[in-house]
A and B are shown apart, each in its own frame.
Chain A
Amino acid sequence: MKVEVLFPEVCNLYGDLMNVDYLEKSGAESVNTSLKERPKFIDGGIDLVFMGAMTEKSQEIVLKALAPYRDDIERAVNAGQAFLATGNAFEIFGKEIQNEDGTAIPCLGIFDTVAKRRMFNRYNAIYLGKFDGFYVVGFKSQFSHSYGGDNYGGIFRNERGDGRYPGFEEEGIRVNNFFGTYLLGPLLPLNPPFTKYLMKLCGVENPHLAFEEKAMEVYEKRVKEFKDPTVRVKY
C-alpha cells in the first residue's frame, strides 16, 4: 500500500500526520508531495492520498497549489482513487469557503459543498458514528461546517454528535473512495476497524495493524465511554 501525503509542510495540524505514521508502522509505504510538486496520484501508482488539517491561510495556499490539477483530481475521484482528507482539508474540494465578512474563497468545486467559517465560535465536540457495522470514534475542533452537497452521503452515520453540519445525520463526505471527514488528529490509531477497512480498500488483503491489541483496547474503551449518555458531546 502506497500513501501519498499531500503538502505535509502545511497540512499537519493536530497530529493528523500520525495517521500516516500508523499506516507506515502497519506496513504501508509513504511519499510526501510538497506545494511545488505535481501530485503523484495523477500519474497513478498511489493507493491512498492523504491530506491533513491546516490553518485558514494554508487552505488558500493549498488551493493555489491544487488549482492547476483540478480536472485531474476530479477524474481521479470519479475513477475511484482513494483519498482521506481530515479536519478542514476536505473543504478544499468543495465549492467555496465563506467568511463571516461576506467574502468567499472559491475552492476546487469538485463537490458542491460550501464551508461557512465562524472564527469566533470554535466548535469542539466528540463524535461516535457507525460505519460498515462497527463504531467510529473521533474528535472535532473546527471553525467551519460544510453545508449543501446533500446528494452525497457522509462517511459515518451519527450515533452521538453532529454530522457534516449540525442537523445532518452523517459525518463527512464520501464520493466513491473519497473520504473527507471533520474528525481530526489520530483518527486511524484510534479506530483500528476503520483503518483495516481503508487498508483493504487500498489492496492490502489481510492487514495487520501496529500494536493492534493495544489499539483495540484503547478503541473499545473509548467506544464505551462515548456511548455513555452521561458523557457530554460538545465541549
Chain B
Amino acid sequence: MGKARFYFALWMAKLSKPALKITGHQGTNFPGEVALKICPDFLAQIAKPKMIVGITGTNGKTTCTNMIIDILEASGKRVLSNREGANINSGIATALVNGTTAFNKAMYDTAVFEIDERSSKRILPYVQPDYMLITNLFRDSIQRNAHAEYIAQFISDNMPKKTKLILNADDLISAGVAPKNNRVYFGIEEMESDVKDCINKINDIQICPVCSGELVYDYRRYHHIGRAHCKDCGFHSPNYDYAASEVDFYNMTMLVSDKGGDMEYPIINDSIFNIYNMVSVIAVMRELGMEHSQIKKHMSNMKIIESRFSEKTEGDLTVILQMAKEKNPLANSRALDYISSIKGQKEIILMPNCLTDGDNWPENPTWIYESDYEFLNKEDITCVIVTGPYASDYELRLLLAGVSPEKIICEYDEFTSANIVPLIPGEIVCIISGMDHFPVAEKARDRIFERAREMGR
C-alpha cells in the first residue's frame, strides 16, 4: 500500500506539471505539494542523487547555493537543485520529482538544495545531505524563528549523523550545531577593519557558550561574528580549516588557505558578508574534491545576483538597489552598514515594510528596534525617505537613532518617494528594500532615472 501510494503521488506530481502549463497556472512548488499531500513520507521514499549538498543558515544561503550550482555546472556536472523553487519541503519534493524517472530512478548524480532552516525538521531526516553548509545563524523573523539559539537547536535535533558539516568558525552560534557530527570550519583571519567591541544592537554571544563566563573577542567583524575566547574556562572559537586572509579591497583579492595549499582568489563583492559567502563556497568545493585552480577559474566570472544588490549609472546619477529581507534585523543592519559606508553624499529611500503582513495583520515593528538604523546618522547622508504604511514608525526609529529631523521625509506611498527624492547633483541615491517591495523599488529606480533625464542630467 505504501509503495502504491508513493507511486501514485509521484505520477500525480509529474502529471501536475503539464496540467499547470496547459491551464496557464504558476506554481513552482505545486508538484511537490501534490506529492506530499498524497504521500506524507514522499521525501523518504523518492530516489535521490548519490551526493547531496545542503545549504542553510540565516543569511547568504541563496547566494551560496547559486554559486555552488554554477561552479559545479561550469565544471561539467549536471546538478539537480531547487533554485527555481522554494527552500521548504514542497520545493525540495518538486526538485526531486523533476530529477526522478516515473519508475523512481534518480536521473542526477548530484543535488544541491537550499534548505530553509526552520524547515529542517521536515527535510533533513529524509533527504540526508552528505555535506551541509551552514552559512551563519542570526536573529530573523521574531514570529517564525524566535531567536538564533532556538534555530541552532532545531537544526541540531534534525541533523542526520552521516552529514559532514561545513561551518562558520567566526559564528559561535552555527559553529556549535550538532556537535557530534563530523565537521570542518571556514573563516576570515583578522582584518584591518576589525574591532574588539560590538557597536551593533544585536550581539548574541556575549558570554561563554560553555561556562557562561567572560567572553573576550580577539577580533570582531560585526555583531557576534569574529574570534573569541573565554577568560574563565579556556574555550575558544574553532580553528579554521579554510581560512581567508590578506583581504585586499584595493585589488579585490584574498588568499584562501587550507591543508592543500594557498590560492589567491578575486573578491566578487566588497561586502564582508559576501566574502564569507565566497569562503564558505570555496570550503564546500574543496570538500567535494575540487582543486583551488578550478574553483578560482569558475569563480572569477561570477557576480552576486542582481536581485540582491545592483548599481546602475546613467549620466551623472548612480542609483543603488539593496535588498534586505524584511523582519530580519540582521540583514537590515548589514545593508544599512554597507550602504552608509559607500563613499560620497547619499540620499536614502527605505522600503522595508512587510506587504504580506500588512494584508493580514499589523506589522510587528520589534525588528526595527534591533536593526542598526544608527548607521544612517552620518554627515554624508543628506536625506532619508521612510515609506509605506508604517513610515511613521521608521521615522520615530530614525529620530531615536539620532538622525536629524530635517533630513527625514515621511512618505506613506512607496513609489511617490521616487518623485520627491531631492536628486542633488553629485549625490548617490540608495534604495534599501525588503523582498516584498523589490518590484516597487525597481519601478522607483526607473522613475528616478526618468526624472534625472527630465532634469537634463
Contacts and interface: CB of A to CB of B under 8 A. Distances in A.
B396 A214 contact: yes
A44 B139 CA distance: 36
Given A25-B400, A218-B393, A221-B392, A18 B149 contact: no
B364 A141 contact: yes
B362 A126 contact: yes
B150 A55 contact: yes
B400 A21 contact: yes
Contacts of A176: none
Interface in B369-423: 369-370, 392-393, 395-396, 399-400
Interface stretch (A8-16, A73-81, A167-175): A8-16
A15 B370 contact: yes
Given A22-B400, A211-B400, A231-B361, A141 B366 contact: yes
B151 to A, nearest CB: 11
A126 B362 CA distance: 8
Interface stretch (B29-37, B201-209, B238-246, B279-287): B201-209
Given A126-B361, A189-B369, A215-B396, A12 B203 contact: yes
Interface in B18-71: none
A232 B395 CA distance: 25
B362 A141 contact: no
Interface string A169-185: 00000000000000011
Contact of A185 (B206, B212, B365): B365
Contacts of A124: 142-143, 364
Contacts of B146: 122, 141, 143
A64 B139 CA distance: 25
Chain A interface residue bracket vs B: 35 or more
Contacts of B366: 14-15, 139, 141, 184-186
Interface string A1-39: 000000001101111011001100100000000011000
A17 B201 CA distance: 9
Contacts of B147: 13, 55
Nearest to A228: B362
A186 B143 contact: no
Contacts of B361: 126, 231-235
A13 B141 CA distance: 12
A186 B364 contact: no
A186 B365 CA distance: 8
A226 interface: yes
Given A57-B149, A61-B207, A18 B362 contact: no
B143 A218 contact: no
A222 B176 CA distance: 40
Given A35-B207, A231-B361, A141 B143 contact: yes
A71 interface: no
Contacts of B369: 14-15, 18, 185-186, 189
Interface of A: 9-10, 12-15, 17-18, 21-22, 25, 35-36, 55-58, 61, 64, 119, 122, 124, 126, 139, 141, 143, 184-186, 189-190, 210-211, 214-215, 217-218, 221-222, 225-226, 231-235
Top 3 A-B pairs, shortest CB-CB distance: A15-B369, A185-B366, A9-B206
Given A126-B362, A143-B146, A184-B366, 9 more contacts: A17-B201, A18-B201, A22-B400, A61-B207, A119-B150, A214-B392, A214-B399, A218-B396, A232-B360
